[in-house]
Amino acid sequence: MEEFRRFVAYDYGRLPELTKRHLSWYEDNRERDTAIVSLILGSGLRVNEVATLTLTDIDWDSKRVLVDRKGEKMQSVPFSIRSKLDLEEYMRIRNSRYQPLASETALFLTKGGKPMTKNAMQKMVNKYSHAYGKPLSVHKLRHTFGTQLYKTKKDLRLVQDILGHSDPKTTTLYTHIGNDEQNNAVDEMDSFE
């Protein structure tokens, strides 16, 4: 999924079919959109969790974000170094480009300096995924994070905790094993003869 993040960050703006208006919109929102995609891919946050983030929810030193999980429970969730870099790039331009009121604490903003909604984030990801040529949704990005985390750590409880699942059965969706992994595992059995 790093390829999709890179597409949002750099390649979308190079598409020859973009109109001047679409290119201008992309250039105005590139850092924000990259930060949103990167944060979901680097933390597994739900879209509503990202949409409700405030400036004070980010702990830059520990690379953690405080989110309001389902069931009205607050949880500190880690995010990746790549996400931190993309968030920092967005924060450098946030106030000058989006010009929020001094009282606006929402992390992600629209052109008018207002909080970006969950629906706007979903539409944004859908727009990029359509141009990317793969049907991706915000939930698919979250699922990708969960799957990659499980493949890396093989720790279902860790995945459950980071994704904020209350039911372990939900987390087992991220443990699916592909055909290649199955074939390799069976082939390795030949070495036990």
Q: How far apart are CA 134 and CA 7, in angstroms?
A: 12
Q: Is 55 left (phi over 0), alpha (psi -120 to 50) or beta?
A: alpha
Active-site residue flag, 70: yes
Residue type, 66: L
- Sign of dihedral through CA atoms 178, 179, 180, 184? positive
Catalytically annotated residue among 32, 46, 98, 150: 46
What token pair was written down for 36?
């949103």
**Of 26, 98, 150, 174, catalytic:** 174
d(CA 164, CA 91): 26
Catalytic residue, chosen from 14, 70, 73, 153, is 70
Active site residue 139: yes
Of the residues 94, 128, 142, 150, only one is catalytic, namely 142
Contact between 78 and 64 under an 8 Å Cβ cutoff? The reply is: yes
What type of residue sits at position 137?
A: S
Q: Active site includes 176?
A: no
d(CA 165, CA 172): 10
Diameter over CA atoms, the chain: 71
Given the residues 123, 130, 139, 157, select the one marked as catalytic: 139
Active site residue 165: yes
Based on the residue annotation, tell me whether 143 is a catalytic residue of this protein: no
Token pair in block for residue 125 = 């990801």
Residues designated catalytic = 46, 70, 139, 142, 165, 174
